[in-house]
A = this chain, B = another copy of it.
């Protein structure tokens, strides 16, 4: 009865999903050489997306497949929801001030450098509004890539990771304000304080609201769930739905990014309330097989059963993440147009602008405090899709000419692709840190 099932147009998407899943899995073999698998997925995407340079056009329709685009967004939403679940709201609050400082400096430094110093210096004679958009494009951090690197290496719980996550949320709110301001300056020529206060108020309302709702709703939900004892299916559905509703609210109602909503949802859901107490078959079998053991052995067996009978909602969302998350990163890689790197003059300016992008965030990292400075600074570098939003908007307003657009695209490419290996290198050199959660792959293997 499914209408779209009758049409043949969407069936090709099955093939694209298969291509992405296989490509991502092959790419994740970079783990064998110690690299985070997100790097493999990005590079694989870049390769697939640029086969046109070799005259192979077969994968081009993927770039314009709206269902694949949706699945990619769902992927990054699920990723940030998971990362929110694995993050601790108390710990987050503890790094709150530092995250705020990192976000603020990380927005102001590249904006001022780009708009007033390096922009006019390297690209003289352009409209002031062009510099404005160039600077704005340098501000916003794309948190998905950094979060994946921390997750791949099992380092989500170290303080640097928490600061980056917090700063990225605040960063998104600031990005929203900047976008509103520069758009108003270009179109109306002036900024309305009313509009800006509304944006700020809405964003704060959403974030504070999410935390308050979470504070009261999660324990209530947990109580209800443990009473009706409906099994894991219900918990899984409730958790995922919670994340999706928050993603929707953030984007549709408050103008924030969907991933900010998903992260907030994960953050406020205390995983403890989603523990499931149903005993897996394997434990039952062990209990049965060893029921006549006694003494110390009995005690040890009891401990193992105890330890493994609590499982968390992350275990349920992991296989889903396995399916959806690589779609986002492969598609992010595919949107990289290597051809833009071929113009030497543009490339040179782009390298300088990338330098500004890096320096601005490294400077912001200083606010993170001792021990976290470099990791946080590096973690804030990827600009991802947010930089491109500014470029696209500027182009559509007629103030970002094609070469400046290319420069922004190259800056995004470089910050996106260079961050994972450098971050991975530093994280591994740093070693232990706090106790880490297993990466999602390990968790799935052990599920």
Contacts and interface: CB of A to CB of B under 8 A. Distances in A.
Interface of A: 1-6, 8, 10-15, 17-19, 21-22, 24-25, 28-29, 66-67, 69-70, 72-74, 76-77, 230-234, 236-238, 240-242, 244-245, 247-248, 251-252, 258, 276, 278, 280-283, 285-286, 289-290, 292-293, 297, 300-301, 303-304, 307-308, 316, 318-320, 322-323, 328, 331-332, 335-336, 384-385, 388-389, 392, 412, 416, 441, 444-447
Given A15-B245, A247-B14, A73 B5 contact: yes
Contact of A248 (B11, B21, B252, B385): B11
Q: Which 10 A-B pairs give the minimum distances between C-beta atoms? A: A4-B69, A18-B241, A1-B335, A319-B319, A25-B237, A289-B300, A18-B244, A281-B446, A14-B248, A14-B244
A336 B73 CA distance: 30
Nearest to A233: B441
Most B C-beta atoms less than 10 A away, residue of A3, A251, A416: A3
Contact of A286 (B10, B301, B319): B301
A441 B285 CA distance: 19
B285 A232 contact: no
A22 B281 CA distance: 26
A31 to B, nearest CB: 9
Given A4-B73, A297-B293, A322 B25 contact: no
Given A21-B244, A282-B282, 4 more contacts: A11-B252, A24-B237, A280-B447, A289-B303
Given A2-B385, A286-B304, A444-B233, A240 B323 contact: yes
Nearest to A77: B14
Contacts of A4: 66, 69-70, 72-73
A14 to B, nearest CB: 4
B12 A248 contact: yes
B232 A444 contact: yes
Nearest to A389: B6
Contact of A6 (B19, B303, B385): B385
B233 A11 contact: no
A70 B67 contact: yes
A384 to B, nearest CB: 6
Contacts of A290: 290, 293, 297, 300-301
A280 B238 contact: no
Contacts of A293: 290, 293, 297
A83 B14 CA distance: 18
A21 to B, nearest CB: 4
17 contacts: A1-B384, A1-B412, A2-B69, A3-B335, A4-B72, A6-B385, A8-B252, A17-B244, A18-B242, A24-B237, A25-B230, A66-B66, A67-B70, A233-B444, A240-B323, A276-B445, A289-B301
A19 B285 CA distance: 37
B237 A21 contact: yes
B72 A5 contact: yes
A308 B446 CA distance: 12
A382 to B, nearest CB: 11
A74 B323 CA distance: 13
Contacts of A252: 8, 11-12, 15
Given A73-B5, A304-B286, A322 B233 contact: yes
Contacts of A441: 231-233
A68 to B, nearest CB: 9
A212 B186 CA distance: 64
A297 to B, nearest CB: 6
A282 B301 CA distance: 11
Nearest to A443: B281
A242 to B, nearest CB: 8
Nearest to A278: B445
B282 A14 contact: no
Contacts of A69: 2-5, 10
A444 B278 CA distance: 11
